[in-house]
Structure 1
Amino acid sequence: MKKLLLSLLTLITISTLKAQTEDDSQITCYQKYAEVFEKRGAEDVDDGTYNDVIITFRKGSMADCFMGKVTVKGGAIDPNEMYLRFVDDEYEKVDRKYRYPDQVVKIINGMSRTMVTVDDELIDVLFTKKIKPKKKSYVRASDPDFDF
């Protein structure tokens, strides 16, 4: 009887700890977007100003995603010309000091190269309007159900 109770208590403790660690490892907004870009791919980003991009800020396991505006010239983003959008459609410039200020921030598959700040913050720009449409799926046949 004691062994049964001890086993039951151990099982409950392990399942509780496992549930807590699963909750702690939530997927961030950046990871969700990156998965979509990886699966679907994206069209090329032409030069111009885009006011419908998502700018992500990551530090450690945390990530924040905001709507913003950037200008693309020569297939690259100027990190000093990025803006975050307010709810009233006004913009505020993203003011960061970058570890590699001369880095050319190319756009590959609809996502910019990661920019690193001197505070070890990681910044990416995502062109969500350039994501390719979902591919068509084949219709699966049902299992046979014949009366022999």
Structure 2
Amino acid sequence: MKKIITTLTLVLSIVASQAQTKKAEDENSCYLKWLQKFENRGADDVADGSYADVIISFRNGGDAECFNGKCDVKEGKVVAMYIKMEDGSYELVKKKPRYEKVPLTITNGMSSPLLTVESELINVLFIKKIKPKKAGFVKAADPSDD
């Protein structure tokens, strides 16, 4: 009986530690880190044009990968996106959207997510549009005995 209880306790502790590790990895994904920065600081409006300084995020479940890239913006919407290759060239992102005619509107420096037929979410992050970090507060001095 003691062996069963010991084994059961060991199995439960291993499962619990693995669940905590997975949660910590999810919280540290590149997309969530950028999302937090955009939410904390805000971003300037994105004008129409081509941007060669964006990050393209691909998310599937709890996994996220972020790549440098460029994109074209027209009427406040992302119309094309390209991933930067190791040789400095760019390759068009050719993912088939699950829903046709859903525009990738840009709000707070981030595009709305593109849902693909593979259930992958793609966002374009305009990192150069993040507002600068606000200055911190100056702490007051402690009272003196004068």
Question: Normalization by structure 1: what TM-score?
Answer: 0.82
User: Could you say what secondary structure the match of 2:31 adopts?
Assistant: helix
Matched, 1:36 2:34: no
The amino acid across from 1:123 in the alignment is I
Following the alignment from structure 2 to structure 1, what is the Cα–Cα distance between the partners of residues 68 and 52? 8
Partner of 2:48: 47
Listed one character per residue, the Cα deviations across residues 98-146 of structure 1 (whole Å, up to 9, x for unaligned) are: 01120111100000001100110000000000000001111123555x5
User: Could you say what secondary structure the match of 1:140 adopts?
Assistant: coil
| Residues 19, 139 of structure 1: alpha-carbon distance in 2 compared, 3 angstrom cutoff | farther
Can you give the 5+ residue segments of structure 2 that lack an aligned partner in the other structure?
Answer: 1-8
Partner of 1:75: 76
> How far 1:89 sits from its partner (Å)?
1.0
Partner of 2:5: none
Following the alignment from structure 1 to structure 2, what is the Cα–Cα distance between the partners of residues 106 and 138? 35
Partner of 2:58: 57
Following the alignment from structure 1 to structure 2, what is the Cα–Cα distance between the partners of residues 126 and 87? 20
Query: What is the number of equivalent residue pairs in this alignment?
Result: 134
Partner of 1:119: 118
Following the alignment from structure 1 to structure 2, what is the Cα–Cα distance between the partners of residues 70 and 101? 19
User: Could you say what secondary structure the match of 1:42 adopts?
Assistant: coil
Matched, 1:89 2:88: yes
Percentage of pairs with the same residue: 48
| Residues 97, 19 of structure 1: alpha-carbon distance in 2 compared, 3 angstrom cutoff | same
Question: Normalization by structure 2: what TM-score?
Answer: 0.83
Partner of 1:105: 104
> How far 1:18 sits from its partner (Å)?
5.2
Matched, 1:23 2:21: yes
RMSD between aligned alpha carbons?
2.2
User: Could you say what secondary structure the match of 2:32 adopts?
Assistant: helix
